[in-house]
Amino acid sequence: MNLELFVLGTGGSIPLPNRYLSSVLLRRDGEFFLFDCGEGTQMSLRTLNLKWKKISAILITHTHADHITGLLGMLMLSSQVDRSAPLYVIGPPRIEEYIEQNRSILAMYINYKIVIKELDPNNLNTVVWETEQYRIRSFALKHSRMCVGYTLEELLRPGSFSPENAEALKVPRGELWSALQKGRNVVLEDGKVITPEQVLGKPRPGRKFSFVTDTRPIERIQKEVAGSDVFVCEGMFTNEHAQSAEEKQHMTAMEAATIAKKAGGIKKMGITHFSPRYTDHQIRLLEREARSIFPETYSLKDGMHIPIPYEE
């Protein structure tokens, strides 16, 4: 089961030619989830040859322009492709108004169903998407307007199959092996019942992805993102501009790194949402500052592809 991250936009505030605005795409076994949809998102999708039709849901962190102005263009792509499944848009209050007003003014023709799920302001820490294999949670951040972070966490998966045990128990190879691997009991020709526990190891953890931007560092984030294989987090400013970070309700890269360190179990942190004041070269400085606290920090770049493999 593949899990991969595509970085579509790493800019904050205003787009630059090589740095579009906030957006990442998570691909899980052919299903796409888009987190934020800043200006330029569809350009990056095109560059990376990702088909927008496969997006199941667009999850928006908050209604600041640099996180949602790409949404209209994305929805307008609809008139050029056919799509049977509905598109879910999940985000804080007023997302629906934003979409509907623009649809009306622009007379947008949309030939499929859009399901808008606005988060309840009194219940931001909640599960927004759930299947048998994984769930997506939102949680409250602290920004100049209502803003949420998201995690996608896979549930436990079955333990690894032991062919030695199956052979020792005289289970014939083939269908019965695959039934056991799927967690079902099987009955042998002599009537003996074999349970999956007899041939499978301990259940193994799934993977976790977290997306956190725009916020001040608050304790809740550590708890929510703990154990992430990949933690994408804003690191908008260098330490020199810590004052700006505080005034604008953002974080420095070092503050992001402190969260990653304190949360525990984070394998990699990707920093994003860079202030347009920094050149690509200066972003290396942000990265260095963060690495002094959390060594597994990487500054993200538009167009990056990051596979998220199982630990074992």
Q: Does 39 participate in binding Zn ion (rule CB under 5 A)?
A: no
Considering beta carbons, is residue 3 or 212 the nearer one to Zn ion? 212
Of the residues 29, 36, 66, 190, only one is catalytic, namely 66
Tell which one of 36, 39, 66, 289 touches Zn ion (CB under 5 A): 66
Q: Which residues, 6+ apart, have CB-to-CB distance to 135 below 8 Å?
A: 127, 129, 152, 153, 155
Q: Tokens in use for 15?
A: 């787009």
**Shortest Å, Cβ 159 to Zn ion:** 42
Tell which one of 64, 137, 207, 248 touches Zn ion (CB under 5 A): 64
Please answer whether residues 231 and 273 qualify as being in contact, where contact means their C-beta atoms are separated by less than 8 angstroms. Answer: no
With CA atoms as reference, report the closest residue to 207 among 248, 152, 283, 139. Answer: 152
Please answer whether residues 187 and 193 qualify as being in contact, where contact means their C-beta atoms are separated by less than 8 angstroms. Answer: yes
Burial of 48 (0-12, 13-18, 19+ CB in 10 A): middle
Q: Tokens in use for 310?
A: 């199982």
Q: Which residues, 6+ apart, have CB-to-CB distance to 91 below 8 Å?
A: 58, 59, 60, 61, 62, 63, 68, 117, 118, 119, 148
Angle (CA) 102 81 30, round 5°: 105
Segment contacting Zn ion by CB under 5 A, of 72-80, 183-191, 210-218, 285-293 = 210-218
Q: Which residue is nearest to Zn ion (CB)?
A: 64
With CA atoms as reference, report the closest residue to 155 among 113, 115, 175, 183. Answer: 183
Catalytic site residue 82? no
Segment contacting Zn ion by CB under 5 A, of 98-106, 168-176, 209-217, 289-297 = 209-217
Considering beta carbons, is residue 98 or 134 the nearer one to Zn ion? 98
In the block, tokens 């095109």 appear at 46
**Shortest Å, Cβ 95 to Zn ion:** 14
Q: Which residues, 6+ apart, have CB-to-CB distance to 78 below 8 Å?
A: 108, 109, 110, 111, 112
Segment contacting Zn ion by CB under 5 A, of 60-68, 83-91, 163-171, 288-296 = 60-68
**Shortest Å, Cβ 233 to Zn ion:** 13
Considering beta carbons, is residue 194 or 251 the nearer one to Zn ion? 251
Considering beta carbons, is residue 226 or 232 the nearer one to Zn ion? 232
**Shortest Å, Cβ 212 to Zn ion:** 12
**Shortest Å, Cβ 205 to Zn ion:** 32
Q: In this structure, how many other beta carbons lie within 10 angstroms of the beta carbon of residue 82? A: 9
Residues 129-158 that bind Zn ion (CB under 5 A): none
Considering beta carbons, is residue 154 or 214 the nearer one to Zn ion? 214
Segment contacting Zn ion by CB under 5 A, of 1-9, 11-19, 105-113, 302-310 = 11-19
Query: Among all residues, which ones are annotated catalytic?
Result: 66
**Site for Zn ion, rule CB under 5 A:** 12, 64, 66, 214
